[in-house]
Amino acid sequence: MSVASRSVLTLIAVGVAALTLTGCVQEVPMEPAADANNPHCADITVTLPDKLAGLDKRRTNAQATGAWGDPAAVLLHCGVTPPAPTTDRCVTVDGVDWVFDDSQEKDELFRFTTYGRVPAVEVFISSNPDKGGVSGTAVLSDLGSSVGRLPQVSKCLNVSEVR
């Protein structure tokens, strides 16, 4: 067998191995949010980072969604209904306001929803280290440049600003 033939066979074998390995990574099943077809969500989706808090981005099967980690420790939906004014805790990370829901804290799962941006983005973050969990602050910081593209129509206020 010639050197050229061996090179071609090696290249084909490497290609088949690469396809086999990438075929093992399943896409994350998700449901699109009600307003997932909003053009602003398309802007967000194409700018989502390949890594969040060190987790690799995964393919999803729904429009305007994102997932990171294996198993998926971060799930994102663009196009959710923006939250109304609330007394729930609101945090600002890199210029983006997020309403914080810790009602599933016992399961080490936290939900953050953008506040004052239309459409809204919802992010579920697992903090359970046994399930690939990560820091919510790191995730929100890494999402800032993408999510910050959404039009801001209001912002979180603290008690001293509500007078």
Confidence of residue 21 (pLDDT cuts 50, 70, 90): very low
- Other residues' Cβ atoms within 10 Å of the Cβ of residue 109: 19
Confidence of residue 118 (pLDDT cuts 50, 70, 90): very high
Whether pTM > 0.85 for this model: the answer is no
Q: Is the Cα torsion angle 33, 45, 74, 92 positive or negative in sign? A: negative
- Other residues' Cβ atoms within 10 Å of the Cβ of residue 93: 18
Instruction: Return the H-helix or E-strand segment holding 7.
Output: helix 3-23
Question: Would you say 88 and 101 are in contact if contact means Cβ atoms under 8 Å apart?
Answer: yes
